[in-house]
Amino acid sequence: MKKSNLLFSAVLAFLMLTGCSNKNENNNEAAVANAVSFDEVLATRRSVRSYDATKTISEAEVRELLIATQEAPSWANQQPSKYYVAMSPEKVEAVSNLVGERNKQNIAGAPVLIVSTYEKGKSGFFRGEQTNEVGDGWGAYDNGLSNAYFILKARSKGFDSLIMGMRDSDALRELFNIPENEAIMAVISLGYRSGEPRQPEHRPLDEVVQFF
């Protein structure tokens, strides 16, 4: 009787382990199948100006994208970039009214609008003194790197974006109570494309690169 019980337990344990192993293998295969290569992210990311208004994005998904921006390099790890996220219909409408009429039309249907800023006097400075002629330009540089991480991560998750430089910075500052020590850079739309945007032409590499 004892031998039968031991044999049954051993067989049951084996079946459970085999089932777990197969489940893990299936999960790994699915993850690999759904993975998007970095080259594909670069090739398919576009400045999208037509959004599917029927699709939404959750706060958790936006948080995942913003966590990715924290991996972006910055001057002496100053991390000067800040983000103000409009997700409620009221805030999204308010921001869309501050980016110019043409941009407003371009981002109609985008469920999320994000204001990107950087803290002045951090990147490019050491003990309160700017370290070279670029000065606070390094803050803008770091903010651009952070934004790049954001839009590329967004594309890897199937989202689309548009970075807008035309905006009413004073009104945005008041809308989000943005401190004066932060420079307002861009407004970024986030959503799903409603169609395939055209492929832009790129300048020949030899026009923008010199090897020595």
- What is the model's pLDDT at position 116? 98
pTM of the model: 0.83
Domain ranges of the chain: 2-35, 46-191
Helical residues (DSSP H) of the chain, grouped into ranges: 2-34, 38-44, 59-69, 89-96, 101-106, 137-156, 169-176, 205-208
First-to-last C-alpha distance (Å) of the chain: 83
- What is the model's pLDDT at position 21? 45
Separation of alpha carbons 50 and 52, rounded Å: 7
- What is the model's pLDDT at position 15? 44
Q: Please list the pLDDT of the chain residue by residue as tens digits (212 residues).
A: 444 454 445 444 444 444 544 444 444 433 333 578 999 999 999 999 999 999 999 999 999 999 999 999 999 999 999 999 999 999 999 999 999 999 999 999 999 999 999 999 999 999 999 999 999 999 999 999 999 999 999 999 999 999 999 999 999 999 999 999 999 999 999 999 999 998 889 999 999 999 99
Quickly count: other Cβ atoms within 10 Å of residue 49's Cβ.
19
Scanning the structure block, which residue is given the tokens 């026009």? 207
The answer to whether the CB of 100 falls within 8 A of the CB of 147 is no
Q: Which helix (H) or strand (E) holds 187?
A: strand 182-191
Separation of alpha carbons 142 and 129, rounded Å: 18
The answer to whether the CB of 80 falls within 8 A of the CB of 181 is no
Separation of alpha carbons 95 and 190, rounded Å: 13
To the question of domain 46-191 being in CATH 3.40.109.10, the answer is: yes
